[in-house]
Copies of this chain bind each other. A is one copy, B any other.
Amino acid sequence: MAANSLTPPPPDSRLRATSFLQSLQDQICAALEVLDGGAQFRQDSWERPEGGGGRSRVLREGRIFEQAGVNFSEVWGEKLPPSILNEWPAAEGHAFMATGTSMVLHPRNPYVPTVHLNYRYFEAGPVWWFGGGADLTPYYPFAADAHHFHACLAEACSLHHSDYYPVFKLWCDEYFYLKHRQENRGVGGIFFDYQNGLGELYHGPCPQGAAAQYSHQVGEVGDRDWESLFALIQSCGRAFLPSYLPIVERRHTLDYGDRERQFQLYRRGRYVEFNLVYDRGTIFGLQTNGRTESILMSLPPLVRWEYDYHPAPGTPEMELYETFLRPQDWLNWPD
């Protein structure tokens, strides 16, 4: 076996990945319904003509969530796009499967952050990888929330390798960046892709980026086999509820007025801009005849654009721009 060849997945790899990602959707939806206490999820099951399908769940006009979308999908097919085959020639001639759970929550109260989660697994013959992450997008600047969110994700990662959190945190800052605004989407979290045990942690699109500079070999090939990486995404996925629910609990009863609501609607425009202009999953889904309504469930229910808006100096809105929309070391943020 060549030094850089993949360790094989176990025979039941697809079933186990699918089963975990479905149960993650179930757990999250159940907890969000209890938390919301107002509305319930509606489920649409759908099939993809080329193979596979999914379960889209949407909760609308809840007490806490203006809209919550949690998707599970499992698709398979025969033809891989050339971009994947060029990079992973061993996938040639194999059918592929891709499964994932993704979620975007748009709370009503502007003091409660929007949050996104996505974990996924891909397999084509001997080629496989895990990807995903979670990131937080506050409208108002609470350092304690950013710290808590990062601390939970860092703890989940640290169960598996001490380098995971630092690299995935930088990778997240790199990915959720709106170049045309020179802003990050929010306070980030973790993001990773192509985790399959080959030595390098970072396998991203940005060779000059922060994550690439930090990244390095993590042990010998084979140290990070399928089981250890499956355990990693399980830890990360299960860390979501404890990372986010306490933030909702302490913010959702704060009073707010029209100013905060208008700022929230304005900032939601950045979510739309990111998802439609930069997000690879969204663009790939729209281009490959994915289920449009499920893909665009991430878009906020109500959004505002305002020409040439700038926050006023000394306001919380300005603090958001100056501190929270730039990469920070939230894990070690002083209280």
Given A277-B286, A286-B180, verify A307-B58 contact (CB < 8 Å): yes
Q: Does chain B have a CB within 8 A of A172?
A: no
Which residues in B have their C-beta under 8 angstroms from that of A296? 273, 305
Q: Summarize A's interface: helix, strand, loop or mixed.
A: mixed
Interface residues of A in 220-271 (CB under 8 A from B): 265, 269
Copies in the complex: 2
Residues of A in contact (CB 8 Å), total 31
A73, chain B: closest CB distance, angstroms: 15
Cβ contacts A293-327/B at 8 Å (1 or 0 each): 10111011111111110000000000000000000
Q: Is A23 located at the chain interface by the 8 A CB criterion?
A: no
Complex interface: chain B residues within 8 A of A283 (CB) = 277
Against B, the Cβ 8 Å flags (1 = close, 0 = not) of A26-53 are 0000000000000000001000000000
A263 → chain B, closest Cβ, in Å?
Answer: 14
**Beta-carbon nearest neighbor of A275 in chain B:** B276
Pair B304/A301 contact, Cβ less than 8 Å: yes
Q: A277 CA to B69 CA in the complex, in Å?
A: 21
A18 → B minimal CB distance (Å): 24
At the interface, yes or no: A19 with Cβ under 8 Å from chain B?
no
Q: Would B276 and A307 count as touching, CB distance under 8 A?
A: no
- With most chain B CB atoms within 10 A of its CB, the pick from A300, A304, A308 is A308
Q: Which residues of B contact A44 (CB under 8 A)?
A: 308
Residue in B67, B286, B305, B306 whose beta carbon sits within 8 Å of that of A307 in the complex: B67
Report the bound CA distance from A121 to B138 in whole Å. 43
Q: Nearest CB to that of A289 among chain B residues?
A: B180
Instruction: Tell me whether A5 is interfacial, beta carbon within 8 Å.
Output: no
Rounded to whole angstroms, the CA-CA distance of A304 and B265 in the bound complex is: 10
- Taken residue by residue from 66 to 97, chain A's Cβ proximity to chain B (1 for < 8 Å, 0 otherwise) reads as 01010000000000000000000000000000
Given contacts A277-B277, A301-B306, 19 further A-B contacts (CB under 8 A): A44-B308, A58-B308, A60-B307, A179-B286, A180-B286, A180-B292, A180-B295, A181-B292, A272-B272, A272-B303, A273-B276, A276-B277, A277-B286, A293-B307, A296-B305, A297-B307, A302-B302, A302-B303, A303-B305
- Of all A-B residue pairs in the complex, the 7 with the closest CB atoms, nearest first, are A276-B276, A180-B286, A299-B305, A303-B303, A180-B292, A58-B307, A293-B308
* 8 A-B contact pairs sorted by A residue (CB < 8 Å): A44-B308, A67-B307, A180-B295, A272-B276, A277-B277, A301-B304, A302-B303, A303-B304
